[in-house]
Amino acid sequence: MSGLTHFDDSGASRMVDVSEKEATQRLARASGLVRMRPETLRLILDRGMAKGDVLEVARLAGIMAAKRTGDLIPLCHPLGLDSIQLDLTATDAATLRIEAVVKVCARTGVEMEALTAVSVAALTVYDMCKAVDREMVIDSVRLEEKSGGRRGHFRREPT
Amino acid sequence: MSGLTHFDDSGASRMVDVSEKEATQRLARASGLVRMRPETLRLILDRGMAKGDVLEVARLAGIMAAKRTGDLIPLCHPLGLDSIQLDLTATDAATLRIEAVVKVCARTGVEMEALTAVSVAALTVYDMCKAVDREMVIDSVRLEEKSGGRRGHFRREPT
Amino acid sequence: MSGLTHFDDSGASRMVDVSEKEATQRLARASGLVRMRPETLRLILDRGMAKGDVLEVARLAGIMAAKRTGDLIPLCHPLGLDSIQLDLTATDAATLRIEAVVKVCARTGVEMEALTAVSVAALTVYDMCKAVDREMVIDSVRLEEKSGGRRGHFRREPT
Amino acid sequence: MSGLTHFDDSGASRMVDVSEKEATQRLARASGLVRMRPETLRLILDRGMAKGDVLEVARLAGIMAAKRTGDLIPLCHPLGLDSIQLDLTATDAATLRIEAVVKVCARTGVEMEALTAVSVAALTVYDMCKAVDREMVIDSVRLEEKSGGRRGHFRREPT
Amino acid sequence: MSGLTHFDDSGASRMVDVSEKEATQRLARASGLVRMRPETLRLILDRGMAKGDVLEVARLAGIMAAKRTGDLIPLCHPLGLDSIQLDLTATDAATLRIEAVVKVCARTGVEMEALTAVSVAALTVYDMCKAVDREMVIDSVRLEEKSGGRRGHFRREPT
Amino acid sequence: MSGLTHFDDSGASRMVDVSEKEATQRLARASGLVRMRPETLRLILDRGMAKGDVLEVARLAGIMAAKRTGDLIPLCHPLGLDSIQLDLTATDAATLRIEAVVKVCARTGVEMEALTAVSVAALTVYDMCKAVDREMVIDSVRLEEKSGGRRGHFRREPT
C-alpha cells in the first residue's frame, strides 16, 4: 500500500496525472440497495405497471448523473462516456437493487461514474417515495467489477 | 398511505406544486457510513493530521453537491440554502460516519440536499482511497431528522 | 414600443434590474409541436404502453431544463421554481403536442422557463426517435398564457 | 424500421452503447425560424448596427448550449466539440432564420448539438424581445444535413 | 479580527449559517483591469465598432458567470440575483477596465458574484485575444463598494 | 498580427474550428497573486497548520473550475483534462502566489483552463477571508508557459 495517489509529496490534493497512460477500453459495474417498507416497494412496482414509473425516473437520473461525475467528485477526471446502463430490480419484498454499467475508451477508469449513477438513482427513489416512507435506507453501494487499465480485471467476491 | 405525490392522476411524473405552501424555516439532518479496511481508515486519519486531508476534500464535495441537488434529482425543487454543515468522524476502526445538516427558509424541505451531501461526500472518500482499497462500501445513507413544514418534526428512532 | 429592455442606453446587454419589483405569484404556459411520420408516433405511443416511454423521458428532460433556464438563457434571471408540469399528447396521427406550465413567486415572470421546458422536451423526443425518423420537425413553440406581474394577464388568441 | 434504439429489450431507457463504433469526423447542420412582427425584426436589425446586438447574444447562447447538450438531453452522449458556428439572418420582413453547424471527431453524431444550438439561440431571441412582442413563434427546427458515421451522408430535401 | 468565519471551532470548512440574518437589499460593485499591448486594445475597439465585439462577448460571459458563482466558489451561498451589469471601458491605450454591479435581496452579500463577473469577463477577453497577444495580464481585481447587511456601507478608498 | 480568430469574416463570434488540427500533448502553466494584509496571510498560514485550510479549499475550487472552463468561457472548446495541479505559496508577508499546471492531449491548448484555475482559486481565497479583509486584491493573473500545438513552446520572460 504505497499511499493515497490524490496527494502529492507535500500532501496537497491534486488530480492524478494520467497523461502518460494509454487510452484503453474500460468498464465498471457498481451496485447498491434501497431498503424500504414492503408497501412502498409494492407501490413502486404497481405504478411501474401504469404510466408513472419511479424506476424509469431513477434510471434517467442515474444516467444523467454519471455524465456529470467529473463535476461532482473534485479530483475525478472529466470523461466522455460511451455507454451507461442501469437496472433496477426488486430482490426481496423490501429491497430494490440498482446496478450500473459504464463503458469508456479513456486513460482512466469509470468506477466513480458507475458508483455515482447508482447513488443518484437511489437518491431519486428516495425523493419520489419520501412522502410515504421517510425511513428508506440506501445500503451497500459498492464496486462490483472493473476492467481495462494497468491493474487488470477486478471482480468483487460474492459475500 | 395516499400514494406517490410525484405523479399526477394520469401517472405522469411532475414537480409537486408548492406554490400554496408557506415559506418556513426548515432543517434536515442525514447520515451515512463508509466501511473500509482499518489500514485505509488509518491512512485517512494520518494524512488528516498532515496537509492533505481526505476528510476536507469530501466535506467540500458534499457542500458543493448539496447546492446542486435540484440539478441532480429530477423532480426536486431548486432552492437557495442558508446553511450546510458536514461532519466526518471515525466511529470504529473500519468505519467513517458522515453527517450533514442543511437549513433553508423555503416552501419545501431539504431532506434531499442533506442526503445528497452525504452521498457525494462518501463517493469522494471512495474516489480518493480507491487506489488502496477498492472494496470500500457506502452504507446506511438515511434521513435522521427533519423539522419545519406542515408534517411536523421527525426524528429517526435509534436502531 | 419603447425598445428592447435588455439593452441599456449605450446599447450594451445587461440583465434587467428587477430589484424594485414586487415578488408576486406568476404562472406561464407554453406549447410546441413535434411533427413526425405516423409510424414514428405509433411507435412512441406503443412503447408508452410498455415500460419504455419516450414521453416520460421527454417530460423529465423538460422539467430538468426548466430548472436550468437561467444557466442557458444569458440575460434571464435565475429563479427557484414552485411547480413545473408537462403534458405530451398526440393531437393527430403525425403530431405530438407538448405543453408546460410553470409557477413561481418572484420579481419576474417564468415565460422562458416554460418555453425552455417545451423546447428541451421536444429535442429529447427528436433524440430518442432520430434513428427511425431524422426528418421530424419542431414547430410552433410559443407562449400561450402568462399571469402575475405588472403587465397583467396575457392569453394568446387561438389561431 | 427496427425500433427505438434508446430502449433495451425490456423497454428500459439507456444510453446507446457506442464503444464498438469508430471515432470519425462528423458534421451536423440544423436550422430553425423565429417568426415575429416586422417592427420587432426591424428593431433587432437596427440595434445590430449599434453596439447592442440581439443576434450576437443569441449566437453566443447557442454556442454555449451546444457545449452542454449532453447535460440537457438525457440519453445523449457527452462529447467534446471541435467547431460550432451559428448564423442568424432575416429571410423576410418577419422571419429570422438560425442555422448551426457543429463538427466533432467522435463515435457518435452531433445532430442534437446542432439542434440544441438552434433552439437555445431562438429562445434567447424570444427572451430579449419578449417585452415588445410576446407572440413570437419558434418554427421549423430541424436537421438539414449530417455526415460521418455508418449511415452515410444525409441531406434534407428542400420543401 | 475574530477569525475566519468559514471554519467552525474544530477547523473544518463549512458554509456560514445565515438563517438568522434578515433578507435585505444588497449591492456589490467590483472592478478589474486587463493590461495588453496597445495594438491589441485597438483591435478590440475597432472590432467593437463593427459587428464582432470582444466587449460584448466578455460582458455576457461575466453576466452568466455571476449567476453561477455559488457553483464555482465552494462555500458561497447560492443566490437568485435581481440585477447584473457590466461595463468595459478603455482607461488608457493599453488597459481595459471592467466593472460589475450586482444586486439582490438576500440574507448574504453579493461581493463574490461581482468579483466573479469581473474575473470571468477578463478571462474571456484573454481567450478572445490570446492568438494575437499571449502576454495580457489581469490585474487589480477588487471590491469597490458594498451596501446592505449588518456591517454597513463599504467604499474602497481611491489609491 | 492577422486579427482575432474568434470572429469569422462577417465579424460574428464563433468557436474556432480545430477539426483539422492534430491532437497533441499540451501543457499550460499560469499564475496569479492575492495581495492582502500581513495579519490575513498569517491567519491563513496558521489555520493551514490546523485542520481548516484556506489553501486546500482554494486549491480544490481551482481544480474543479478548470474542469468547467468550457462552460464558463463562451468560445472555449470543451476538453477532457489529463492533469491539473495547483500550488499556493506565500511569496512575501502580504502576498499569496497561485500557480496552476494543466495537461491534456487535444486539438487545442489549455491556457484558459490554467488561467481559470488560478482565478477561481484566488476568488475562493477572497471569499474565505473577506470577513477579516475586504480589501484583498487579485493581481498579475497571466500565462507563464505553454507547450504543444503548432505555435511551439512559449515561456514568459521574468519581469
The residues of chain D scoring below 50 in pLDDT are 1-2, 49-51
Q: Name every chain A residue with its beta carbon within 8 A of the beta carbon of B135.
A: 142-143, 156
Q: Is B105 on the interface with E (CB under 8 A)?
A: yes
Residue C4 confidence (pLDDT) = 64
* CB-based contact F127:F36 (threshold 8 Å): no
Domain assignment present for B135: yes
CA distances from C108 to A12, C78, C113, D61 (A): 44, 10, 11, 21
Phi, psi of E129, deg, nearest 5 = -115, 0
Is the Cβ–Cβ distance between E3 and E88 less than 8 Å?
no
Whether E50 and chain D come into contact, CB under 8 Å, resolves to: no
Give A-chain residues touching D75 at CB under 8 angstroms: 60, 63
Number of Cα atoms under 13 Å in the Cβ half of residue B17: 11
Closest-CA distance of chain E to residue B82, Å? 5
Direct distance between the N- and C-terminal alpha carbons of chain E, in angstroms, rounded to an integer: 24
Quote the cell numbers at residue F88.
499556493
Residues β-bridged to residue F103: F27, F83
- Chain-chain contact of D15 with A81 (C-beta, under 8 angstroms): yes
User: Does residue D153 belong to the interface with chain A, where contact is any CB pair within 8 Å?
Assistant: no
Confidence of residue E138 (pLDDT cuts 50, 70, 90): very high
Mean pLDDT, rounded, for E53-63 = 93
Query: Which of E15, E18, E79 faces B63 most closely, judged by CB atoms?
Result: E15
Question: Would residue A156 be called left, alpha or beta, if left means φ above 0 and alpha means ψ between -120 and 50 degrees?
Answer: beta
For C104, the domain range is 24-148
| Min distance E158 CA to chain D CA atoms (Å) | 30
- High-pLDDT (> 70) share of chain B, %: 89
Q: Mark yes or no for CB contact D63/F75 under 8 Å.
A: yes
- Which amino acid belongs to residue F47? R
Please answer whether residues C111 and D130 qualify as being in contact, where contact means their C-beta atoms are separated by less than 8 angstroms. Answer: yes
Q: What are the CA-CA distances from residue B78 to residues B61, E73, E78 (Å)?
A: 18, 18, 10
Which set of grid coordinates corresponds to residue A106?
479513456
The domain tally of chain C equals: 1
Burial class, D44, CB count within 10 angstroms (exposed 0-12 / middle 13-18 / buried 19+) = buried
Q: Of F59, F67, F147, F135, which Cα lies nearest the Cα of F97?
A: F59
Specify the 3-state DSSP secondary structure of B112: helix
> What is residue C1's predicted lDDT score, i.e. its pLDDT?
39
**Torsion sign across C-alpha atoms D106, D110, D112, D114:** positive
The response to whether A77 counts as a known ligand-binding position is yes
Residues of chain D in contact with residue A59, where contact means CB-CB under 8 angstroms, are 12-14
A81 and chain C in contact, CB less than 8 A: no
Distance from first CA to last CA of chain D, Å, rounded?
24
Q: Which chains touch B (3 or more CB pairs under 8 A)?
A: A, C, E, F
What confidence score (pLDDT) does residue C151 get? 78
Q: What is the ipTM of this complex?
A: 0.94
Instruction: Give the cell for residue F76.
Output: 472555449
Q: Are B147 and B64 in contact (CB under 8 A)?
A: no
| Domain assignment present for C13 | no
Residues in chain F closer than 8 A to B56 (CB atoms): 51-53, 56-57
Q: Does B60 touch chain A (CB under 8 A)?
A: yes
> Which residues of D are annotated binding-site positions?
75-77, 112-113
Question: Are the C-beta atoms of E96 and E88 separated by less than 8 Å?
Answer: yes
How far does the CA of residue D155 sit from the closest CA of chain E (Å)?
Answer: 31
Q: What is the pLDDT of residues E27-36, one digit of tens each?
A: 999 999 999 9
Nearest to C15 among E55, E56, E83 (CB): E83
Of all residues in chain A, the one with the smallest CA distance to C61 is A60
Residues E19-37 as b/e (b if ≥16 CB within 10 A, e otherwise) read eeeeeeebbbbbbbbbbbb
Give catalytic residues of C, as residue numbers.
127
Which residues are paired to E96 by β-bridges?
Answer: E34, E90
Residues of D with catalytic function = 127
Longest dimension (CA), chain A: 57
Query: Residue F157 has what pLDDT?
Result: 85
Nearest chain E alpha carbon to C79 = E80
Cα-atom radius of gyration of chain A, to the nearest Å?
17
Per-residue pLDDT, A51: 40
> Chains B and C: how many Cβ contacts under 8 Å?
53
Q: Which residues of C touch A57 (CB under 8 A)?
A: 56, 60
Residue range E92-127, pLDDT digits in tens:
999 999 999 999 999 999 999 999 999 999 999 999
**Considering only CA atoms, which of F33, F147, F44, F15 is closest in space to residue F97?**
F33
Percent above pLDDT 90 for chain B: 74
Q: Say whether pLDDT at E12 is over 50.
A: yes
Pick among B56, B126, B133, B140 to test the A interface (most A CBs inside 10 A): B126
Flag whether residue C67 sits within 8 Å of chain D, measured between CB atoms: no
Tell me: is residue B79 an annotated ligand-binding position: no
Task: Compute the distance between CA of residue E12 and CA of residue E6 in angstroms, rounded to an integer.
Answer: 8
Considering only the beta carbons, identify the residue of A8, A17, A74 that sits closest to F82: A17
- Render D62-130 in DSSP notation, one character per residue: HHHHHHTHHHHSTTPPP---SEEEEEEEEEETTEEEEEEEEEEEESS--HHHHHHHHHHHHHHHHHHHT
Asked if E59 has any chain C CB less than 8 Å from its own CB, the reply is yes
* Subunit contact F14:D103, Cβ cutoff 8 A: no
State the DSSP H helix or E strand holding residue C97, giving kind and residue range, or none if neither: strand C95-106
Q: Which residues of E are known catalytic residues?
A: 127
Distances C94 to D32, D151, F23 between C-alpha atoms, Å: 20, 25, 45
Residue type, A123: L
Q: Is B112 annotated as a binding residue?
A: yes
Distance CA D139, CA E33 (A): 43
Is residue B127 one of the residues assigned to a domain?
yes
CB contact under 8 A, E4 and F76: no
Nearest CB neighbour to A82, from listed D12, D14, D19? D19
Model confidence band, residue C22 (pLDDT cutoffs 50, 70, 90): confident
User: Do residues A128 and A53 lie in contact, with contact meaning Cβ atoms separated by under 8 Å?
Assistant: no
Res B77: pLDDT: 93
The reply to whether D146 touches chain F by the CB within 8 Å rule is no
Does B54 fall in a domain?
A: yes
CA distance F118 to F100: 6
User: Residue E6 annotated as binding?
Assistant: no
Nearest CA to B47 out of B117, B121, B132, B116 is that of B132
Q: How far apart are CA F84 and CA D150, in angstroms?
A: 36
Burial class (CB in 10 A: 0-12, 13-18, 19+), E10: exposed
Instruction: Give domain status of residue E5, yes or no.
Output: no
**3 state DSSP class of F114:** helix
Query: Is C75 part of any domain?
Result: yes
pLDDT tens by residue, chain A, 159 residues: 346 666 666 667 888 899 889 899 999 999 999 999 999 999 999 875 344 589 999 999 999 999 999 999 999 999 999 999 999 999 999 999 999 999 999 999 999 999 999 999 999 999 999 988 999 999 999 999 999 987 789 999 876
Residue C6: inside a domain: no
Report yes or no: A81 and A108 within 8 Å, Cβ to Cβ: no
Q: A60 in contact with C at a CB cutoff of 8 Å?
A: yes
Interchain pair C82, B107: CB under 8 A: yes
> Please, what is the Cα angle at D113 between D112 and D116, to 5 degrees?
80
Q: Which residues of E touch C17 (CB under 8 A)?
A: 82-83, 85, 103
**The three three-digit cell numbers of residue A119, written as one number:** 447513488
On chain A, the residues whose CB falls within 8 A of the CB of D77 are 80-82
Closest CA to D8 of A83, A54, F69, F104: A83
CB contact under 8 A, F15 and D81: yes
Q: What is the distance between the alpha carbons of residues C131 and D4, in angstroms, rounded to a whole number?
A: 7
Complete DSSP assignment for chain E: ----TTB-TTS-B-B---TTSPPEEEEEEEEEEEE--HHHHHHHHHHHHSS--HHHHHHHHHHHHHHTHHHHSTTPPP---SEEEEEEEEEETTEEEEEEEEEEEESS--HHHHHHHHHHHHHHHHHHHTTT-TT-EEEEEEEEEEESSTT--EEPPP-
Catalytically active residues of F, by annotation = 127
Of the pLDDT bands very low, low, confident and very high (cuts 50, 70, 90), residue E46 is confident
Residue C146, pLDDT > 60, answer: yes
Counting one residue from D and one from F, how many pairs have CB atoms under 8 Å apart? 53
Q: How many helices (H) and strands (E) does chain A have?
A: 4, 5
Residue D9: exposure state from Cβ atoms within 10 A (0-12, 13-18, ≥19): exposed
* CA gap F140, E141 in Å, rounded: 9
pLDDT of residue E50: 42
Is residue F12 one of the residues assigned to a domain? Answer: no
Catalytic, out of A8, A17, A92, A127: A127
Contact E112 F123 (CB under 8 A): yes
**Domain of residue B91, CATH code:** 3.30.70.640
Helix (H, G, I), strand (E, B) or coil at C155: strand
Residues of chain F with pLDDT under 50: 1-2, 49-51
C45 contacts chain A (CB < 8 A): no
